[in-house]
Amino acid sequence: MNTGKILISKSKPQIIIAKTEEQLASLCANFFYRTIVERMTEPGRISVALSGGSTPRPMHRLLAMPPYLTDIPWNQIDIYWADERLVPPNDPASNYGAAKKDLLDHLPIQKDHIHPMCSPHSPGRAAEEYEGLLAEYFELEPKALPLFDLIILGIGQDGHTASIFPNDRTAIDTGRWVVPVKGGTPDVHRLTLTMPVLLKARHLFFLVTGRSKAEMVRTIFEQDSAGLPPQLLNASSNQVAWFLDKEAASLLTKNLAE
């Protein structure tokens, strides 16, 4: 393990800055493990939602290896997605496809604990289907909100998170749990958990690496008026942690990591 200096803030949201992308993946895997272990002190299955893109892939690959592979009680966990591109699961753009290859195929986990956001149906119907699945798992009445134990998120250079894009209120001003949206890179139909669902989660982890995200990281933490989706989530009353590598944190001017 890389022993470079790690900065961990006492602020809320918590900010964790690692020297390298590898060190960050290892830190995040460790927090993942600790979050699961802590949650195991309560009864019931544990719900985790993953995101897509390239950033979480090193962490997914680490979780697929000992000690995480062997020490995490995978069979007590249900895996969901925060968002998905509506492409076939074997398409390189599929979030499920990437997670399957890096992580899920290697885990001792029952297949029926994995809940891809994939559907051959129209985006509208696919969103309703996923809501139906959540209603069943969380045993919810229509007006209640699913309570995820942990949702892992990334951000885009444009300030989106999951598939909640700035200037699109579809997934923000809503009582829905899952909505269809179109956009992003690749510019395809997508499903996303909505802002109310993300806000309700017990733990949110943002995983952000690379210089290309540094400008947006600074905007999120230093420009309060921007109203970006990750800023709305920073206001959550639950646990929010940002895992940044040095590059992603390089334009922060306030000393946040104290």
Name the segment binding ligand 6PG (CB under 6 A); options: 115-123, 150-158, 165-173, 248-256.
150-158
22 or 40: whose CB is closer to ligand 6PG?
Answer: 22
Task: Determine if residue 80 is left, alpha or beta; phi over 0 gives left, psi from -120 to 50 gives alpha, anything else beta.
Answer: beta
Which tokens go with 191? 């499903």
CB of 66 to ligand 6PG, least distance (A): 25
Binding mask 99-118 for ligand 6PG (x = CB under 6 A): --------------------
Name the segment binding ligand 6PG (CB under 6 A); options: 71-79, 131-139, 155-163, 224-232.
155-163
What backbone torsions phi and psi does residue 33 show, to the nearest 5 degrees? -55, -45
3-state helix, strand, coil in the chain (%, to 5): 35, 20, 45
What b/e readout covers 211-234, taking b as 16+ CB neighbours within 10 angstroms?
Answer: eebbebbbbbbeeeeeebbbbebb
CB of 156 to ligand 6PG, least distance (A): 4
Please, which of residues 42-101 interact with ligand 6PG by CB under 6 A? 51-55, 83, 85, 95
Q: How many CB atoms within 10 Å of residue 132?
A: 12
> Per rule CB under 6 A, is residue 184 in the interface with ligand 6PG?
yes
Select the residue interacting with ligand 6PG from 23, 35, 47, 161 (CB under 6 A). 161
Name the segment binding ligand 6PG (CB under 6 A); options: 30-38, 61-69, 158-166, 242-250.
158-166
Select the residue interacting with ligand 6PG from 13, 97, 154, 159 (CB under 6 A). 154
Residues contacting residue 120 through CB under 8 Å, at least 6 positions apart: none
H-only helix segments in the chain: 21-39, 57-63, 68-71, 95-102, 123-137, 195-200, 214-222, 229-234
Site residues for ligand 6PG per CB under 6 A: 51-55, 83, 85, 95, 154-156, 160-163, 184
